[in-house]
Structure formats: structure tokens, C-alpha cells
Amino acid sequence: MIRLAQPSDLDTIDQIAEQAILHMAASNIPQWDLSYPRRLHFAKDVEDGVLFVYEQEGRIAGVMALRPEQDPPYENIQGWTVPHGESLVIHRVVIDPKLERQGIFQHLMDFAIQTAKDKHYQSIKIDTHHDNYKMRRFLDKNGFVHIGYLAVIDREAYERTWEDEQ
């Protein structure tokens, strides 16, 4: 089940984020450190009503923020298919490392895409660290196109549109 996160979820989300950060570091993925993303960042997402959790057997297994595009770094890259401001952007995807490879992020991604379509956005955008081979492979598998490098935040930019989908 996917639902909006609540303030009461923040302790659990922060614990999962810490475990995920350590797991990524052990996998040589330097995307995050123990200062980001943490409770403070997720609390802002909850306050803004953009943080979603995936529950499995009554416990939080994954989380993602889904925000209307408003990131200044996204304005600084050429090649987007959809103009700035007409997309939803996925941020802070965290899956409990003990539950990896169970399709949790796929459920969250499908939810994000359907939400964007339902709200009449033209695409989903996301960025990831160049060395995050797991995320980059997932994005390729899910029809995202690599747009380019966001130097100001040291991330690779991806976009998925659905204008040609039936």
C-alpha cells in the first residue's frame, strides 16, 4: 500500500534512511552521507504533503518525495523533452536495504508515473549520482532517458515522458 507519510512515520523513515545510506556506502555508491537525506528533509516533505511511503506487511518498506518541478538546477540543463515546470520530480527514494529486490521501488515508480499522468504533468524527472549504478540501471529499464549532467549538484538527470504511450 502506498500512502502519504505522516509525522508519526518520521522516526522509522529516518532509521531506514540511515541504513540505506550505510548500505550505499558499502556498495561504493557515494550518493549520500549521514547528513542527507535525514529526518529534517523528510519532515519538510511531510509538511508539504509530498512524501509517500510504501507499506509492506504493516511496516514502512520504502519512501519517496514527489514534487512539482521547481528545482533551480534543473533549469540549467539543456535537452529536457518537457519544459521546466511541467513535470513531477522524484526525490529522496529510500528503500529498506533488507527488502531490496522485492519490487518496492517499482511500485513507487508506477505510483509516481500514474500520479503525474492523473495530474496532467507531461513527464517525470529524477536525478542520481553517476556512480549509483543500481538506480541508473533501474531508470534505463523503466523507460527513462539520460538527459545530461547537472554539474551544480553533481548528478545525472533523467526524464520519462508518455506522449507516445497508448
| pTM listed for this prediction | 0.92
Contact 95, 62 (CB under 8 A): yes
Place of cell 506522449: 163
Entry field: residues in the chain: 166
Q: Collapse the DSSP code of 129 into the 3-class scheme (helix H, G, I; strand E, B; otherwise coil) and give the result.
A: coil
Question: What pLDDT digit, counting tens, does each position of 106-134 carry?
Answer: 999 999 999 999 999 999 999 999 999 99
Topology (CATH) of 2-123: Aminopeptidase (3.40.630)
Question: What pLDDT digit, counting tens, does each position of 10-46 carry?
Answer: 999 999 999 999 999 999 998 899 999 999 999 999 9
Residue 56 neighbours by CB distance under 10 Å: 15
Q: Collapse the DSSP code of 62 into the 3-class scheme (helix H, G, I; strand E, B; otherwise coil) and give the result.
A: strand
